[in-house]
């Protein structure tokens, strides 16, 4: 059965971003996808910030906490079909956010998801690094 993360499942080594299909807004050009137990548990813990244009998808997931985090984030709860079922903006450290009907969570830098509203549909988009990014990538 097809779902929001099907493109990633079909090509897990490819780089992905996420776009709000309803408003035609690119929310993040570079996503990390936490699909195994260890990466889902760690999430964004231990980081000082989330770079603009980046995000973290946690799947499967219907609830997150920001305990021990050092910065606020925006959180989108997404159903299997890519529909936003809940949007939490500028969630500060030491908070909990839940959406029992969510299939996955997308964590983004604070104030980056104002265009994404409940009922909007998201989609993964292939990310193509620029020549400059490829040159500066660690080897």
What does the DSSP assignment read for 98-109? Answer: E-TT-SEEEEEE
Q: What is the pTM of this model?
A: 0.88
According to the model, what pLDDT value does residue 79 have?
98
Instruction: Give percent of the chain above pLDDT 70.
Output: 91
- The secondary structure element, H or E, covering residue 63 is strand 63-65
Question: 55-111, pLDDT tens digit by residue?
Answer: 999 999 999 999 999 999 999 999 999 999 999 999 999 999 999 999 999 999 999
According to the model, what pLDDT value does residue 20 have?
96
Tokens of 133: 């990014």
According to the model, what pLDDT value does residue 132 have?
59
State the Cα–Cα distance between residues 21 and 136, nearest whole angstrom.
31
The CA-CA-CA angle for residues 89, 59, 51, to 5°, reads: 50
All structural domains of the chain with their residue ranges: 6-128
Q: Which CATH architecture has domain 6-128?
A: Sandwich (2.60)
């Amino acid at each position: 059965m097809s779902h929001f993360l099907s493109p990633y499942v079909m090509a897990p080594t490819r780089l992905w971003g996420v776009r709000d299909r309803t408003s035609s807004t690119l929310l993040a050009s570079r996503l990390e996808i936490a699909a195994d137990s260890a990466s889902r548990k760690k999430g964004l813990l231990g980081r000082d910030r989330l770079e603009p244009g980046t995000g973290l998808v946690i799947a499967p997931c219907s609830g997150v906490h920001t305990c021990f985090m050092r910065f606020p984030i925006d959180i989108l709860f997404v159903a299997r079909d890519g529909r936003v079922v809940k949007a939490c903006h500028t969630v500060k450290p030491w908070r909990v956010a839940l959406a029992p009907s969510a299939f996955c969570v997308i964590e983004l830098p604070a104030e980056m998801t104002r265009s994404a509203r409940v009922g909007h549909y998201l989609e993964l988009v292939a990310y193509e690094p620029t020549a400059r990014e490829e040159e500066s990538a660690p080897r």
